[in-house]
Structure 1
Amino acid sequence: MKLGIGIGWRPEIADAVEALAGIDWVEAVAENICTDHLPDSLVRLRARGVTVVPHGVSLGLGGAERPDAGRLADLAARAELLSTPLVTEHIAFVRAGGPRTASPGLEAGHLLPVPRTWDALDVLCENVRIAQDSLPVPLALENIAALISWPDEELTEGQFLAELVERTGVRLLIDVANLHTNHVNRGEDPATALDELPVEAIAYVHVAGGVEKDGVWHDTHAHPVTEPVLDVLAELRSRVDPPGVLLERDDDFPPAEELAGELITIRATLDRAAALGAGASAHAGKSVSRPALSPGPSLESVRDRVAVAQTALLSALVAGTPAPQGFDHRRLGIQSRALAAKRAGVVAKVAPELPEILGAGYREAFLAYARARPMSAGYRRDALDFAEGLLIAGLPADDAARRRLTHWWQDRAAARPPRRSTRLVRAARAALVGR
């Protein structure tokens, strides 16, 4: 299906997206859409004939566990609600731990890279097949940006993607900004990756901005698209005419005129590359042969190995445990700080009352909480646990602010058997009422 030129729909820029000229389609974060009704803006766009593609971020298909049936059902319901031609997700893991490793479950709150190994590929392929069987429309998977590299990888990114497509028939969502990110951070040549992957499997393309700091590229989706990213887009277009190209912007949203200007630049980049000619057949990726092995272990034991490795990495990033052998400690530190900063930012968005109540001290207080309390559920639960921890500690010091925080927590805490910490909060609340 030919999608054309699109933009990522976000509530913050919904009006601007509706007003943009020449938008053929939009992509919306699947988890931000209710399964039983659509935001009015998306209803109006669909009435105009604009295709809406749901883009998932929480399945964690690269994780050691099989994908959660409930999450798959929700994604399928959103696909049905939108009458979309396809749904998309990421080649990443987002959680680890749990019964398979006899350790606490951990949430990354972010997309983390899977090792490009045959073990990880075996697990990913089965997870993708499960997802494909559960969805009413085709699935496309996105390559992600990474700050860190796994040691002892056995495949390049292009080879990994080619093998995935060969085994599962899944489509690809190629993010050219992520190819550039991995060029800066991991020394991987985007042109080589494009040569190795099967470009005929591309469903559409992402283009996004980022920023380089101290030799590390941060895929922020909060900065303008840079020339090197456009160069990778041109490289891709020289090989194939992608069915769709989409501009992503997730934060620090610019005026509508700037978004329109970036879309014009993307179109111009595609047109210039097209004028030079495209030859997808000359650049089609080829799968690689797996080394000959003796009768292999069961997939369950492979999943166990992947689970141990991913849990060790995520625990080092969010719980301060020792870094697994072979990882760059400096890069792990950068990634760990980036995860904590993102966590603070997302909690501030889902619970804007918290930074309002805590004022300038919000960020420092949240980062201190995050260092001692890895995320084990979603961001809304994280916000409640953060507030609960402050109240147990008798914070904030200001009586009026503490009273406001107490009432905020009381209004939103889910019904559940009271834990010791909850009983302490209730005692604190009763003491406040008596003042």
Structure 2
Amino acid sequence: LADLAERAEALGSPLVTEHIAFVRAGGPLTASATLEAGHLLPVPRTRDALRVLCENIRIAQDALPVPLAVENIAALITWPGEEMSEGQFLAELVERTGVRLLIDVANLHTNHVNRGEDPAKALDELPVEAIAYVHVAGGVERDGVWHDTHAHPVTRPVLDVLAELRSRVAPPGVLLERDDDFPPASELAGELTVIRETLTIAAGAATATATATATATATATGEPAALPVALVPSEPSVPPVPHRPPTDATRERLALRQAALLSALVAGTPVPEGFDTRRVRVQSRALAAKRADVIAKVAPELPGILGSGYRPAFLSYAANRPMRAGYRRDALDFAEHLLIDGRPEDPVARRELTFWWQERAGSRPPRRATRLVRRARAALVGIGR
């Protein structure tokens, strides 16, 4: 947080933003190995999670020199036993901490497709005056599941959610997110034009509605019609509620639930009770696929050496092998796994992979016996915790 605060000041940033999500679980609080998701996962919308999240937000707010805004995320899975809707959860966060909101309308659409949640209802429930920023992004639907890819054009349903938001408030800024598969500049410019047109049309409709309502009221009461007030975000008028930190038991309950879910997603353990098993498996495959994509960028030599066999080999490797120390270590572990298994079968490719591994990890890949000893030690450490 200190480094982040320093960078915010150096860049003159008007605010700092972060996602409402978790990316790792386990560790001392759960007496288990730390697991990395490699991607954003939803927190349960429960009172326990709310208390922990509020405390974390306050810690960040105290450390940052500029306001903090938190962003809603896209999700494939739903936690069992949730106690609030997305809009209610965001409203509680704002009320308790005074935090600002970064609303991603593409994520609202994603949760509509994947979780059956109504974007308009979420916008009705959250405090739109707390919105500091808006994100728009493209995605794609596969087998009834919407994937927020940031690598496809923005679709009409996402623009419709943006229009819904603009009919309620004028956001200070709207950002088009694009992370991969960049089209020609003319296509991106076209998307930006459509986004601007969507905002303009929605703003005009909102103004017309406000004017008509004011006129109708004036006609009924005999009072002069009030001019429509510009919908601009402002600081929340209600101060944060008194702080009540979460107890250790609250943090432990949440940590155990997150660890169980993440273990099912990245380590192949049983799906926790109450979750949709099919959706958890879809999320697991999505995490593995994203992991494979990142490894291909961090270590582009691997897909170069393995060719078309890279992706299926990596997905098989990742099925029950969690990432343990970042993506570069993951790439080395993957190569080591293949070499110990006598792969790739092509001797030229295997020699290239061996040289690649040796340059980065050591003199030679460990033998099978060494690997078994490592696994036994890891198991004993886990038992002793």
Q: Same fold (TM over 0.5)?
A: yes
Summarize the alignment of residues 207-222 of structure 1 with structure 2, pairs less than 5 Å apart.
207-222=136-151
Partner of 2:57: 128
Residue 357 (structure 1) aligned to one of 289, 305, 308: 305
1:144 aligns with 2:73: yes
Aligned identity (percent) is 76
Determine helix, strand or coil for the equivalent of 2:319: helix
Residue pair 1:197, 1:286 contacting (<8 A) in 2 also: no
Determine helix, strand or coil for the equivalent of 1:224: coil
List gaps (5 residues or longer) in structure 1: 1-71, 291-295, 426-435
Moved over 3 A (4+): 278-281, 284-287, 418-425
List gaps (5 residues or longer) in structure 2: 208-229, 372-385
Q: How far does residue 299 in structure 1 lie from its aligned partner after superposition?
A: 1.5
Q: How far does residue 92 in structure 1 lie from its aligned partner after superposition?
A: 0.2
Determine helix, strand or coil for the equivalent of 2:206: coil
Question: TM-score when scaled to structure 1?
Answer: 0.74
Partner of 2:274: 326
Determine helix, strand or coil for the equivalent of 2:91: helix
1:176 aligns with 2:105: yes
Kindly provide the CA deviation profile for residues 183-209 of structure 1, in whole angstroms up to 9, marking residues without a partner as x.
111111111110111111111100001
1:304 aligns with 2:257: no
Partner of 1:372: 320
CA gap 1:100/1:254 in 2 versus in 1, 3 angstroms: same
Whose helix proportion is higher, 1 or 2?
2
Partner of 2:381: none
Determine helix, strand or coil for the equivalent of 2:146: strand
Q: How far does residue 280 in structure 1 lie from its aligned partner after superposition?
A: 5.2
Partner of 1:10: none
1:387 aligns with 2:335: yes
Kindly provide the CA deviation profile for residues 267-297 of structure 1, in whole angstroms up to 9, marking residues without a partner as x.
000000111126759xx9999xx9xxxxx99
Q: How far does residue 371 in structure 1 lie from its aligned partner after superposition?
A: 1.2
Partner of 2:380: none
The count of corresponding residues between Structure 1 and Structure 2 is: 344
Residue 113 (structure 1) aligned to one of 30, 36, 42: 42
Distance in 2 between residues matched to 1:212 and 1:286, nearest whole Å: 40
CA gap 1:191/1:380 in 2 versus in 1, 3 angstroms: same
Partner of 2:263: 315
Distance in 2 between residues matched to 1:125 and 1:298, nearest whole Å: 9
Distance in 1 between residues matched to 2:273 and 2:56, nearest whole Å: 27
Residue pair 2:51, 2:245 contacting (<8 A) in 1 also: no
Distance in 2 between residues matched to 1:400 and 1:167, nearest whole Å: 61
Partner of 1:409: 357
1:103 aligns with 2:51: no
Kindly provide the CA deviation profile for residues 205-243 of structure 1, in whole angstroms up to 9, marking residues without a partner as x.
000011122221111111110000000000000110000
Partner of 2:5: 76
CA gap 1:92/1:286 in 2 versus in 1, 3 angstroms: farther
CA gap 1:352/1:73 in 2 versus in 1, 3 angstroms: farther
Question: TM-score when scaled to structure 2?
Answer: 0.83
Q: How far does residue 171 in structure 1 lie from its aligned partner after superposition?
A: 1.1
Which structure has the greater CA radius of gyration? 2
Residue 127 (structure 2) aligned to one of 181, 198, 205: 198
Residue pair 1:198, 1:286 contacting (<8 A) in 2 also: no
CA gap 1:394/1:151 in 2 versus in 1, 3 angstroms: same
Determine helix, strand or coil for the equivalent of 1:372: coil
Residue 160 (structure 1) aligned to one of 80, 89, 105: 89
- Give 1:223's aligned amino acid: H
1:268 aligns with 2:197: yes
Residue pair 1:162, 1:285 contacting (<8 A) in 2 also: no
Summarize the alignment of residues 45-84 of structure 1 with structure 2, pairs less than 5 Å apart.
72-84=1-13
Distance in 2 between residues matched to 1:390 and 1:286, nearest whole Å: 59
Residue pair 1:392, 1:424 contacting (<8 A) in 2 also: no
Partner of 1:35: none
Residue pair 2:76, 2:145 contacting (<8 A) in 1 also: yes
Partner of 2:163: 234
Q: What RMSD, in angstroms, separates the aligned Cα atoms of the two structures? A: 2.7
